[in-house]
């Protein structure tokens, strides 16, 4: 009995030691809220922490990540989309509770009770209109959806329910009919091999799943007929043989959820981030990661190095906001999405990205549109579409901007590319400890 009691006490001690400790501080930095997380190191735990923050639409201006043995220490400098510190106590409490759970579970965005449809294939003008027309014809009500396009490919997660009962679609014959008709739409005339449809019961986070779908579709190897990104991200990967790390450096335009997209890709490619420094100056982001495989080895070949570069560039570009941003706020009804996207198609608009959601009886949808060739849309075309759908329902919005204060909150260290990224691990850890406020100087 005494030995059992000792074991119980030991298990309680391990439980307490492994529970993440979260501190949210508004006093240290004048321009951002500091979110500090100390926890036992576990594969995927960094992605979970970043996911919690980005799901709240918070901007991560800076971050310092360091792993010492089996312990993990993160410090995030966050603001809201307007560049303000966090003052809402309910938001602060949610962050503390979410990051403070001892077991990091997969989060599904609360889509339980819905049927998830996964679609991948070749993108083309009018495709989304055809997809929603099929779902309307089969009496499926779209509750939520996200659509990404990249390098001529499309990936979409669509959460649906029965129109009449509001329950998940469980009839196997109807599911087969939905899959078959959507597959035919995705195939078109020339995509017989790569069009894929599936009904998923997976609870993976929606945006992580979209990354996984496009990665499996190998969009990073394809080149779009409509051209590439005007300012592609700069990604370098080098090995630091003495310490056994691979050093990944990313330089690109900053935007919301940038860190999530990069960490998500590294995690799903089975790399572990041991140390990282994230910095934002103006509209430019500089991110550096010290990574290894899950078995503790660095990148081992030139082919693997090039693959990491391609995959990270693709992950950054997938969420790039190409085109005019249109917001649709209207009473939800059966066939609404089919009607709206058909109007887009009839006016020569191509949807490059979409976020569709419903709440009670209202539909809140965001579309990014270009012309059929991928060029900016003429204003008169946008006005014709708005006149058809309704000026009060469909509004033109600028892409979201991250507001940064002109003054920096502390001295920053700019990270270079190439050989300059290969700093000593001692300097990296000292710099992180300095930014954590645990030492006075790292010079």
Residue 417 placed within a domain = yes
Q: Are 353 and 150 in contact, with CB atoms under 8 Å apart? A: no
Q: Maximum CA pair distance of the chain? A: 82
Per-residue DSSP letter, 398: P
* 166 class by beta-carbon count within 10 Å (0-12 exposed, 13-18 middle, 19+ buried): exposed
CA distance 258 to 316: 7
Q: 420: closest CA among 288, 332, 276, 307?
A: 288
Instruction: Report the first-to-last Cα separation within the chain, whole angstroms.
Output: 55
Whole-angstrom Cα distance, residue 76 to residue 277?
10
Q: Where are the beta strands (DSSP E) in 26-152?
A: 33-40, 59-68, 71-79, 115-122, 140-150
Collapsed DSSP state (helix, strand, coil) of residue 148: strand
CATH number for 170: 3.30.70.260
Give yes or no: residues 220 and 337 share one domain: yes
Q: What is the pLDDT of residue 154?
A: 95
Give the containing element (helix H, strand E) for 22.
Answer: strand 21-25
For the chain, what is the radius of gyration of the CA atoms?
Answer: 23
**Is 354 contained in some domain?**
yes
- Asked whether the predicted pLDDT for residue 307 surpasses 80, the reply is yes
Has residue 440 been placed in a domain?
A: no
Question: What is the per-residue pLDDT for 183?
Answer: 93
Same domain assignment for residues 100 and 10: yes
Model pLDDT, residue 224: 55
> What mean pLDDT is predicted for residues 279-308?
95
Q: What angle do CA 333, 334, 338 make, to 5 degrees?
A: 105
What's the DSSP call for residue 364? E
* pLDDT for the residue 393: 96
Q: Are residues 90 and 6 in the same domain?
A: yes
| Domain boundaries, position 140 | 115-225+320-397
Q: Is residue 402 part of a domain?
A: no
- Residue 351 phi/psi, 5-degree rounding, is -85, 120
Cβ atoms of 214 and 155 within 8 Å: the answer is yes
Q: For residue 343, give the DSSP letter.
A: H
Structure tokens at 36: 């500090």
C-alpha 292/C-alpha 100 separation (Å) is 26
Task: Provide the percentage of residues in the chain whose pLDDT is more than 90.
Answer: 67
Predicted local confidence at residue 184, as pLDDT? 92
Helices in 293-335 by DSSP H: which ranges? 302-318
The answer on 420 and 326 residing in a single domain is no
Q: In whole angstroms, how far apart are CA 50 and each of 61, 156, 256?
A: 12, 23, 12
Residues 326 and 298 in one domain: no
Residue, of 364 and 2, whose pLDDT is higher: 364
In this predicted structure, the answer to whether residue 203 has a pLDDT above a threshold of 60 is yes
> In this structure, is residue 403 part of a structural domain?
no
Give per-residue pLDDT as tens, 81-92: 999 999 999 999
- What's the rounded Cα separation, in Å, for the pair 25 and 32? 9
Both structure tokens of 174: 């109807």
Q: Tell me whether residue 405 is in a domain.
A: no
The CA distance from 408 to 411, in Å, is: 7
pLDDT (mean) for 122-151: 95
Query: Helix 127-137 to helix 172-187 angle, to the nearest 10 degrees?
Result: 160
Examine residue 325 and state whether it is found in any structural domain, yes or no. yes
Sign of CA dihedral 308, 310, 312, 314: negative
- The pTM of the full predicted model, rounded to 2 decimals, is 0.84
* Whole-number pLDDT of residue 146: 97
Distance between CA atoms of residues 53 and 81, nearest Å: 12
Q: Same domain for 385 and 340? A: yes
pLDDT (0 to 100) of residue 251: 97
pLDDT value for 79: 96
Number of domains present in the structure of the chain: 2
pLDDT of residue 68: 73
How far is it, in rounded angstroms, from Cα 127 to Cα 109? 26
Q: For the chain, what is the mean pLDDT?
A: 84
Count CA atoms closer than 13 A to 265's CA, side-chain side.
25
Structure token pair of residue 11: 């298990």
- Give every CB contact of residue 187 below 8 A, 6+ residues apart in sequence: 121, 195
Q: For the segment 396-427, what is each residue's pLDDT rounded down to a tens digit?
A: 986 444 444 444 444 333 334 343 344 444 44
- The verdict on residue 187 lying in a domain is yes
More confident residue, 34 or 443: 34
pLDDT at residue 429 in the model: 47
Same domain assignment for residues 287 and 424: yes
Q: Do 120 and 221 lie in a common domain?
A: yes
pLDDT tens digits, one per residue of 377-402:
999 999 999 999 999 999 998 644 44
Question: 216 and 312, same structural domain?
Answer: no
State mean pLDDT over 114-133.
Answer: 94
Clarify whether residues 125 and 200 are in a common domain: yes
Please compute the mean of the pLDDT values over residues 40-66 and round it to a whole number. Answer: 92
Is residue 429 within 8 A of residue 66, CB to CB? The reply is: yes
Distance CA 404, CA 312 (A): 25
Distance of alpha carbon 281 from alpha carbon 202, whole angstroms:
38
CA atoms within 13 A on the CB side of 340: 28
Asked whether residue 137 falls in the same domain as residue 244, the answer is no
The Cα 429–Cα 422 span in angstroms is 13
pLDDT band at 322 (very low <50, low <70, confident <90, very high): confident
Report pLDDT digits (tens) over 423-440: 444 445 445 444 444 444
Do 173 and 188 belong to one domain? Answer: yes
């Amino acid at each position: 009995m005494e030995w059992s009691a000792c074991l119980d006490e030991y298990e309680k001690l391990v439980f307490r030691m492994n529970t993440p400790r979260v501190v949210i501080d508004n006093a240290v930095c004048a321009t951002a809220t500091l979110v500090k997380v100390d926890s036992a190191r576990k594969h995927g735990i960094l992605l979970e922490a970043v996911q919690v923050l980005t799901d709240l639409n918070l901007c991560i201006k800076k971050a310092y990540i360091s792993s010492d043995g089996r312990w993990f220490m993160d410090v995030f400098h966050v603001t809201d989309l307007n560049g303000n510190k966090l003052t809402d106590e309910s938001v602060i409490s949610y962050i503390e509770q979410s990051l403070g759970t001892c077991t990091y579970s997969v989060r599904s965005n609360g889509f339980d009770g819905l049927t998830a449809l996964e679609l991948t294939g070749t993108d083309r003008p009018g495709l989304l209109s055809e997809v929603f027309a099929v779902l309307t014809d089969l009496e499926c009500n779209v509750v939520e959806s996200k659509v990404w396009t990249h390098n001529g490919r499309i990936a979409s997660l669509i959460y649906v329910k029965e129109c009449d009962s509001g329950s998940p679609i469980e009839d196997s014959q109807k599911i087969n009919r939905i899959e078959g008709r959507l597959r035919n739409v995705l195939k078109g005339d020339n995509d017989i091999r790569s069009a894929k449809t599936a009904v998923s019961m997976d609870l993976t986070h929606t945006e992580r799943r979209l990354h996984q779908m496009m990665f499996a579709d190998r969009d990073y190897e394809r080149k779009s007929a409509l051209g590439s990104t005007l300012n592609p991200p700069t990604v370098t990967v080098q090995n630091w043989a003495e310490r056994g790390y691979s050093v990944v450096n990313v330089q690109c335009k900053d935007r919301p959820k940038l860190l999530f997209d990069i960490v998500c890709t590294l995690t799903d490619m089975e790399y572990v981030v041991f140390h990282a420094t994230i910095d934002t100056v103006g509209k430019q982001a500089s991110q550096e990661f010290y990574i290894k495989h899950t078995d503790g080895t660095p990148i081992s070949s030139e082919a693997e190095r090039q693959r990491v570069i391609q995959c990270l560039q693709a992950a950054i570009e997938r969420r790039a906001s190409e085109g005019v941003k249109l917001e649709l706020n209207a009473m939800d009804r059966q066939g609404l999405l089919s009607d709206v996207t058909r109007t887009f198609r009839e006016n020569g608009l191509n949807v490059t990205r979409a976020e569709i959601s419903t709440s009670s009886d209202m539909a809140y949808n965001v579309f990014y549109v270009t012309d059929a060739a991928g060029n900016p849309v003429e204003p008169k075309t946008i006005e014709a579409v708005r006149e058809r759908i309704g000026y009060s329902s469909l509004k033109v919005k600028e892409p979201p901007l991250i507001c940064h204060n002109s003054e920096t909150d502390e001295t920053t260290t700019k990270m270079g590319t190439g050989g300059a990224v290969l700093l000593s691990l001692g300097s990296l850890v000292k710099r992180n400890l300095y930014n954590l406020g645990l030492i006075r100087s790292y010079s």
